[in-house]
Structure 1
Amino acid sequence: MSQVPMQYFNLMEENYSKYGLSVIQLIQIGKFYELWHEPDVTSIQQAYSQAELLVESSIRSRSLGVTPPIEQVASLLDMRIISPGKRSLLQMGFPIYSLTTHLSTLLDKGWTIIVIDELATDKSGPKQRAVSRIYSPSCNLDGGSELSYVISIYFKDDLLGITLFSAMSGHSIMFPVYWVDRDKVARLLISYRIKEVVIRVDSGANSRMLNKIYGLLIGWNLFPSEPNARIEVMGETLTSTPGLSCYLSYRYENDNKEWLLLHIYLGINEEWFNKNYQEYTLSKIFQSTWTEDVNQANLISLLGTLQFVKDRNPNLIKNLQLPECYNSVVSPLNLILCNRAEYQLDLLPKKGKLGGLLNLVDYCSTAMGKRLLKFRLLNPITDYSELNLRYEEIATFKQLLHKQIFDNSELKQIKDLSSLHRQWAICASSDTTLPPKKLSQIYHSYLSANKLIGSLLPLLRLPPSVGPQLESLIGEIDRFFQVDNLLGDFKDILQPTDNLTNLLVQRQTLKAQLTEWAEQTSNIVFQDTISIKAEYFSKEGYAFSILSKKLAKLERYLANPLVTDPPIIILGKRGSHQIITSPAILGVSIEFNLLEEQVNIYVKQTYNGELKRLYFSYSELFLPLENMISRLDVALSGAIVSTKFNYTRPCLLATDPKAKGLIETINLRHPLIEQLNTQEECVAHDISLEDKGMLIFSVNGAGKSTLLRAIGVNVILAQAGVYVAADSFKLRPYHYLITRILGGDDLHKGQGTFEVEMRDLSTILKLANYNSLILGDEICHGTEVSSGLAILAATIERLTAARTSFVLSTHLHQVCSLIDLPVRYYHLSVIQREDLGIIYERKLKPGPGPSQYGIEVMGHIINDREFYTNALKYRKLINWKSPSLRPRSKSSSLTVFRPSKYNSKVFIDSCEICGAPAEAIHHIKPKRLSGGHSFNLSRRSNLVPVCSSCHLDIHRNKISILGWKRTPAHKKLYWVYLNESLDSGTE
């Protein structure tokens, strides 16, 4: 094998040991970058299913085949692999200028790119090459509208030190987590786009520790969702040598092309535990005195993050802002979303599918605004003053939109200043140059931001110092740079100075000499001024060009003894033209090139110097400016959404430390359903959770889950500071939102449906208090009826005792007779007609509704009359046999109702008006009219069992009780809705 391939594959082994096997190594060969592969060499990559990785390596099945990187890259970039000559070597490549285009494609697929460039030397002989740049999915400055984060975790006994870091913005967060609280981390991570995980473990770790790590990341939902995801394993041999660190690297990818890179380092640098080293290193990196009193585990995690990033690009850890340090993973000011509520409520779009609340309400114009909106949606808050401020900002923009005196045109012109400022910070502290194109984007973003501030300053509470500082910075950029030339020639980007003007005049003089000589000679020889032209060529420098067919005439002219011009030298050919020069012209060209180099050096040094000065003079402006633009963008988006979809402003009820969370809403709708399902009208509901929980019954498909989701989604919108899909929405903010809406197994953890239900129910019972909102869909449907019924009743009892707001749906109607608790019963109405079948009316009505309906629904889905008739036959048999099938005990199979304390012959069974379980006795003739005679008050004819809802309507004069009337067969209660003309009655 020749020297270059040997160098390539030697570097590849070295890079594999440093950066893992998910590496694409590109080597410069002339004007191309090439990728090579030896097909006959055994690959050190292996692949397992995710399930296999969780068992001991000694008993795993044979690993799956791994597609060589060169084939994966060729497929991604739609390029051809070649095998030149007789060598057993596969190659592919592309021009150097195409690297920028292909980088984003490769990074998006989870590859780390190593670039090997040729070194510029004056030595003859073989070209020298070295690694010049490294790009990894989390360590680059081009990530689109969503920032990529790397998460670093340090394992120390039962404590985890965790750091999140974004190279694009320089933003970092750090917090400790005890092992028993590890599940809480998943709630935070949903806000961040994590593509690389770095694990640091003390040396001496074994396969049991690896399984602990895998289990942790599965619990945090970081691995791709399918349990059979292919996992490429890099050198999983554990070292037994004490003190010797070992590096393991994994690449996870599933069928949906979701992926994750995992890097595990076994062994910690001893210096990291030295306090003096910690203070010196961190103060140097963060350009400030490190005064934070941070947990030791967190410091090791932070140092591990910085080392990981530095190994890929040292410039990315320069001019960093101090990390956000927290003592806990969960803020007490947030509404905590439990049991993966963000997934169960469809807050984010699922890969390859429509929907997602974020997509619906995102009308932001800037990348910064989009990130802030997503963060707010996934991290709702409880702070009254901040929520009211967000509502007020939306209200202000709604007025401006209504008056048509404002639009988002200025916001659309603002680029991602978070990323641009980060690139500026890196260039200000290194020898790299901020491309003038980036400065142009920054400048024009500033102009738009300045106009925005000017128009909104009288209307919104904006930071008072941002506007004047921004105007000053814009003025300084105008003073030092020709902003209109930032996209043109680099030499023209500075405003003229004496030094620059002097150099440019000298350069222009020399250029004029060459032009004059070309025109004079052309005039003499060809009687025109265009046959010979002075031009600049990349290799030859300044020279003359002439058509090949005219060259002979010029040579004859110069051969004349009477002509004193120097002889010409032919340098080469460009198409139909010859490139020529002479000793005199060559001397002028060399002098011109030296001047050109002086101009370039002067412009580059001045440009970098001024940008560095401006950065350190105005860097304190950048974060407030970014935050203000993001906030305005989100507020405008909220105004657009509320106007477009007719959302309403939430009303926050007066706060009281002991007051329970509550919702009172009129015509509540599901934001997604009403937009996506356009074939039928979205049914709105009135919901009140102030005094009692709700139990909802209904036919399958009537909309129980949709109603639960509508409540949860609108609570999140309200506590994110956004308007809601309702006509009225009163809220006292909750601290916990706990959902149990999606059923099914958890294949990752090997848990069946009932196990998953009980795990989620455990969370509900632990966190249920007066500041919790519980939304449960068919809890306990994964086990047999008697156990499920008992667990449901016990759950309702616990939630009621804890004063928890809850809405539970169920098919277990028997629970109504089991519990004697202040719970309201409702059902979603369904109409069944012979001609039309089942019609889902979906209206929320009092009472549990019919208790048996599954066969009726099935009959309209499965068009099989015989099967339908047989099912009805067996249901009748079950209902007829059911009393004898139960074991005999003191409790009868018949429902035992409570007698009324007013009259033992009156039982509190079902509401005489709506049929729901009764909760109270209503006196038709009230006490104040009884004349003090309790006998008249307690007669059976004066007592009516009613549910709480109907009882409330009676006292609100919505229902009038006319009394009991005798009929030939029965005694019948007559009553009437006061706003209806038809009377009603129950036997």
Structure 2
Amino acid sequence: KTYALDELFNLLQTYNTAEIIVTLDNNKIDKEWISNYLELNQYHTSFNSSRCKIDYQNELFARVYQINSFLSAIEYLDLERHPYTTEALAILIEFIIEHDELIIAKMNRPIFLGASRYLYLGNNALEQLGVISRDSSELTLLRLIDKTSTAFGKRLLKERLLSPIIDKEILEARYDLAEKLIERSDKYDTHLKNIYDLERISRRLKLQKLHPMELTYISMSLYAIAKLLKDCKQDSIEYDSKLDDKIEEFRKYLIDTFDLNICSKFRIEQIDDNIFRYGVYPNIDTLLQNQKDEIGKLEQVITHIDSIVEAKQIKNSSKSGYADIGYLESEGFSINLTKNRFTMIEKELKESFVTIEDTHHFFKDFHYKRLKNSVKINSKLFEQITQTYESNQVKLVALVKERYIKSLDELDKRFSHLLNEIISFVANIDVAISNAKCAKKMQLTRPIIVEGNGYEAIGLRHPIIEANENSGIYVPNDIYLGEGIKTEHNHITRNASDGNAVNGVLLYGINSSGKSSLMKSIGLSVILAQAGFFVPAVEMKFSMYDKLFTRIVSKDNLYKGLSTFSVEMMELKNIFNRAGTNSLILGDEISQGTETESGLAIVSGAILKLLDIDAHFIFATHLHQLKNIEQLQNIKELIFLHLGVKYDESSDRLIYNRELQLGMGSSLYGLEFAKSLHMDEFFLKNAYTIRESIIGNKSELKTLKQKKRSRYNKNLYLTKCALCDEVVEDIHHIIPQKMANSSGKIGTMDKNHKYNLIPLCKRHHNMVHEGKIQITGFVMTDEGVKLHYSEQ
């Protein structure tokens, strides 16, 4: 029932959807339920009840797609096996025609996405994993890895990340290109930043809405792309060898056809001058010459006036051009002269005449209008010139606009295919450069696609949490799922399974220990790898998954109007209906919405179901009683792990080491975590008594007393010495700077990471270097990140 809607929900998130038309022709379908399920309140939504008959669909498609074939339009578009898709497309086109028919002009043929080619992302996985978010202020994976320089490159990166694939050949090609560009990204960046949004320009060209100024954008972009191709050739990046000549032909056509300097001044509705090169359109050239001839008559008058002024001036004066042409739309052309000069030559001027086209024009018959500082001269000659000029100008503008529209059509016919080829190539390079930048900056590695049915990550990190320095230095973990992957690493997952296949992991740990973060890091690494990007791990091997499902607490807004338990059961049902051998399921606190007994039964049943279909899964849970479920005992493919936490008596704190360890771990740290949240004292006292053990917990509240920041890291405020209350004089690197590589990295960590820096007073800094104080680093506790050190 919901499979198609889940697919649609993912598509709405992948593409920048603004408006949706929903057709309901069945009284059994609840309009409100559909709206809630798809969360349509965030879009402009129209509900439609009329259907489109097949004859009408054929007629509509034939007209819109300009189809002339012995096949029906539906057959021509390969839609005959998809009746609902075909009807939905017809309804959409009909809706667009009602609002703006130009939008569908020269529309490309519909493209089938093909579900078998893509990784299916179930249960709103993109949002639950933090790949995207509706909160514009939230750091998401998409925002984190987007280092593109072009608008269409940005769109391609988003499309790839939100639509991971299961095509090994394409993925390897994406990895290869990014790997080749890791040390070369800077020089490509320079060219990419000079390329305009050709994808948008191409569409505007098809709609004949392209502004003349955008022709200059195309020309500048082609110049930058020509340079980019030159670098590609030097770096042995393959592309169609004919592309260089095609781009040069395109640029030459633009330069030979248009005066790009004049084009740069105009939007299409503002054209009031010739934008074409001389000789392109002779009839336009003729009109322009007529315009010049009319202006030439005015210039003859000015030359005559200037000659009289010069005769009255001192002989050695080099001044020339004493009069000038003026024009007002309400008055037409005139000639202007300063009042002083006019007074000086008035007698001689009115006694003279000028001959234009064998006709004498006497200045005594001209009209002289005295203004404050100048004199404006008019005549019947000027009126005739104005009338002819304005008539020619109307003809010129109309003809230029007419020829411009025809030129756009010619451009589209000759070069639209080339534009698409360029857009595809440049976007691919841009995304690869972005991938390469991230690999270098964030210490990402190329994933390795292997045969078999498994997943292994060594030193896996959560990229979003790691990017947030306030979370501390991220602790990587190793994880293994499935079988058939040859590994050289003897990590905790392999130890827990005794070398057997690992289909399921039950992950334990108290709140804030990092269970959800670890699960999300696995999901994010799979999405990154299957979108063609590098991953936050020392090494990652995987056989491609075809389905990824998530059930993560705090992101259960998919089914509005349902209880938490209803949401969980609906999502579990979807998983059971769709998961298979190549599926990965990530579940956080499944069945938390019901009582313990039912929860145990539900989780146990889910585990057995997923093991039966040979899917891979990781469930984070607090249900320690699962080890006592008879059906789950002695299952070799199921392992129990926990994220380490211990109580440190000396500091009276919980210490999180965030590393995977064998077994379920202790179940007795919940109250310590509750106390760290400053819960009600009466409640805590009774809770401790009931548990029959009391563990102290003294929270330390810190305030920032000043805003001085470290020169190494602006996020580190120098309030006081980390070991006493004295003034900060030095900054100590826990892991010395000399251990960093040329990129400033120590392993995967930046040498100036906030939690590799310790503000110290001079006395304590000297003690550190003298070996009297040993600083081991920061650890996560129930009170946050704390510094661990010892005095000798």
Q: Report percent identity of matched pairs.
A: 28
After TM superposition, list the pairs within 5 Å mapping 1:146-161 onto structure 2: none
Counterpart check, 1:382 vs 2:191: no
After TM superposition, list the pairs within 5 Å mapping 1:46-65 onto structure 2: none
State whether residues 746 and 752 of structure 1, in contact with CA within 8 Å, keep that contact through their aligned partners in structure 2. no
Distance in 2 separating the partners of 1:359 and 1:617:
37
Counterpart check, 1:358 vs 2:135: no
1:190 maps to which of 10, 13, 30: 13
AA matched with 1:215: W
Counterpart check, 1:789 vs 2:580: no
Counterpart check, 1:425 vs 2:206: yes
State whether residues 350 and 362 of structure 2, in contact with CA within 8 Å, keep that contact through their aligned partners in structure 1. no
User: In structure 2, the residue corresponding to 1:332 is in which secondary structure?
Assistant: helix
State whether residues 349 and 359 of structure 1, in contact with CA within 8 Å, keep that contact through their aligned partners in structure 2. no
Counterpart check, 1:461 vs 2:238: yes
After TM superposition, list the pairs within 5 Å mapping 1:198-597 onto structure 2: 198-200=21-23, 212-224=30-42, 260-267=43-50, 273-274=55-56, 277-278=59-60, 280-284=62-66, 290=73, 291-294=76-79, 295-325=82-112, 331-401=115-185, 406-427=187-208, 434-457=210-233, 459-488=236-265, 491=273, 493-497=275-279, 501-521=285-305, 524=308, 532-546=323-337, 564-565=362-363, 567-569=365-367, 580-597=377-394
State whether residues 258 and 277 of structure 2, in contact with CA within 8 Å, keep that contact through their aligned partners in structure 1. yes
Q: How far does residue 371 in structure 1 lie from its aligned partner after superposition?
A: 0.7
Distance in 2 separating the partners of 1:267 and 1:591:
58
Q: How far does residue 567 in structure 1 lie from its aligned partner after superposition?
A: 3.6
Counterpart in 2 of 1:88?
Answer: none
Per-residue CA distance 1:290-347 (angstroms, 9 max, x = gap)? 4124244433332332233233333222222111146xxx611111111100010111
Q: Which runs of 5+ in 1 are unaligned?
A: 1-177, 225-259, 878-987
Q: How far does residue 744 in structure 1 lie from its aligned partner after superposition?
A: 7.0
Counterpart check, 1:833 vs 2:648: yes
User: In structure 2, the residue corresponding to 1:734 is in which secondary structure?
Assistant: coil
AA matched with 2:411: L
Distance in 1 separating the partners of 2:9 and 2:378:
71
After TM superposition, list the pairs within 5 Å mapping 1:967-982 onto structure 2: none
Q: How far does residue 589 in structure 1 lie from its aligned partner after superposition?
A: 2.3
State whether residues 376 and 720 of structure 1, in contact with CA within 8 Å, keep that contact through their aligned partners in structure 2. yes
Distance in 2 separating the partners of 1:187 and 1:810:
27
User: In structure 2, the residue corresponding to 1:321 is in which secondary structure?
Assistant: coil
Distance in 2 separating the partners of 1:550 and 1:288:
81
Distance in 1 separating the partners of 2:322 and 2:183:
68
Distance in 1 separating the partners of 2:129 and 2:86:
36
State whether residues 127 and 133 of structure 2, in contact with CA within 8 Å, keep that contact through their aligned partners in structure 1. no
1:647 maps to which of 437, 444, 448: 444
Counterpart in 2 of 1:732?
Answer: 543
Which has the higher mean CA deviation after the structures are superposed, 602-611 or 281-290? Answer: 281-290
Change (3 A) 1:579 1:286: farther
User: In structure 2, the residue corresponding to 1:459 is in which secondary structure?
Assistant: coil
Counterpart in 2 of 1:706?
Answer: 517
AA matched with 2:47: I
2:415 maps to which of 590, 605, 618: 618
Change (3 A) 1:280 1:400: closer
Change (3 A) 1:297 1:804: closer
Counterpart check, 1:759 vs 2:576: no
Distance in 2 separating the partners of 1:766 and 1:222:
25
AA matched with 1:198: I
Distance in 1 separating the partners of 2:608 and 2:5:
29
Change (3 A) 1:600 1:392: same
State whether residues 778 and 811 of structure 1, in contact with CA within 8 Å, keep that contact through their aligned partners in structure 2. yes
Which has the higher mean CA deviation after the structures are superposed, 183-192 or 357-366? Answer: 183-192
AA matched with 2:446: R
Per-residue CA distance 1:905-963 (angstroms, 9 max, x = gap)? xxxxxxxxxxxxxxxxxxxxxxxxxxxxxxxxxxxxxxxxxxxxxxxxxxxxxxxxxxx
Q: How far does residue 580 in structure 1 lie from its aligned partner after superposition?
A: 4.5
Q: Which TM-score applies when normalising by structure 2?
A: 0.75
Distance in 2 separating the partners of 1:383 and 1:214:
38
AA matched with 2:227: K
Which has the higher mean CA deviation after the structures are superposed, 679-688 or 508-517? Answer: 508-517
Per-residue CA distance 1:372-425 (angstroms, 9 max, x = gap)? 111111111111111111100101111434xx7x33111111111111011111
User: In structure 2, the residue corresponding to 1:493 is in which secondary structure?
Assistant: coil
Distance in 2 separating the partners of 1:806 and 1:770:
11
Distance in 2 separating the partners of 1:780 and 1:587:
91
State whether residues 287 and 319 of structure 1, in contact with CA within 8 Å, keep that contact through their aligned partners in structure 2. no
User: In structure 2, the residue corresponding to 1:284 is in which secondary structure?
Assistant: coil
Q: Which runs of 5+ in 2 are unaligned?
A: 314-318, 354-360, 483-500, 694-792
Which has the higher mean CA deviation after the structures are superposed, 524-533 or 683-692? Answer: 524-533
Q: How far does residue 777 in structure 1 lie from its aligned partner after superposition?
A: 0.8
Matched positions, count: 642
Q: How far does residue 642 in structure 1 lie from its aligned partner after superposition?
A: 0.3
Counterpart in 2 of 1:170?
Answer: none
Counterpart check, 1:673 vs 2:458: no
State whether residues 348 and 358 of structure 1, in contact with CA within 8 Å, keep that contact through their aligned partners in structure 2. yes
Distance in 2 separating the partners of 1:215 and 1:682:
42
Distance in 2 separating the partners of 1:511 and 1:744:
72
User: In structure 1, the residue corresponding to 2:237 is in which secondary structure?
Assistant: coil
Per-residue CA distance 1:564-585 (angstroms, 9 max, x = gap)? 3254457998x96675521011
Change (3 A) 1:827 1:605: same
After TM superposition, list the pairs within 5 Å mapping 1:122-141 onto structure 2: none
Distance in 2 separating the partners of 1:300 and 1:571:
73
State whether residues 414 and 444 of structure 1, in contact with CA within 8 Å, keep that contact through their aligned partners in structure 2. yes
Which structure exhibits the higher relative contact order, with contacts defined as CA atoms closer than 8 Å and separated by 6 or more residues?
2
Counterpart check, 1:808 vs 2:619: yes
Q: How far does residue 362 in structure 1 lie from its aligned partner after superposition?
A: 0.3
1:845 maps to which of 658, 661, 665: 661
State whether residues 776 and 807 of structure 1, in contact with CA within 8 Å, keep that contact through their aligned partners in structure 2. yes
Counterpart in 2 of 1:768?
Answer: 579
User: Counting helix residues as a fraction of each chain, which structure ranks higher?
Assistant: 2
After TM superposition, list the pairs within 5 Å mapping 1:864-903 onto structure 2: 867-876=683-692
Change (3 A) 1:179 1:494: same
State whether residues 77 and 110 of structure 2, in contact with CA within 8 Å, keep that contact through their aligned partners in structure 1. no
Per-residue CA distance 1:827-849 (angstroms, 9 max, x = gap)? 11112123431121111111111
State whether residues 52 and 91 of structure 2, in contact with CA within 8 Å, keep that contact through their aligned partners in structure 1. no
Distance in 2 separating the partners of 1:730 and 1:618:
43
Distance in 2 separating the partners of 1:561 and 1:730:
96
Distance in 1 separating the partners of 2:50 and 2:683:
66
Q: How far does residue 447 in structure 1 lie from its aligned partner after superposition?
A: 1.5
Distance in 1 separating the partners of 2:246 and 2:648:
71
Distance in 2 separating the partners of 1:477 and 1:452:
20
Counterpart in 2 of 1:125?
Answer: none
AA matched with 2:531: A
Q: Which TM-score applies when normalising by structure 1?
A: 0.60
State whether residues 545 and 579 of structure 1, in contact with CA within 8 Å, keep that contact through their aligned partners in structure 2. yes
AA matched with 1:868: L
CA-based RMSD? 3.2
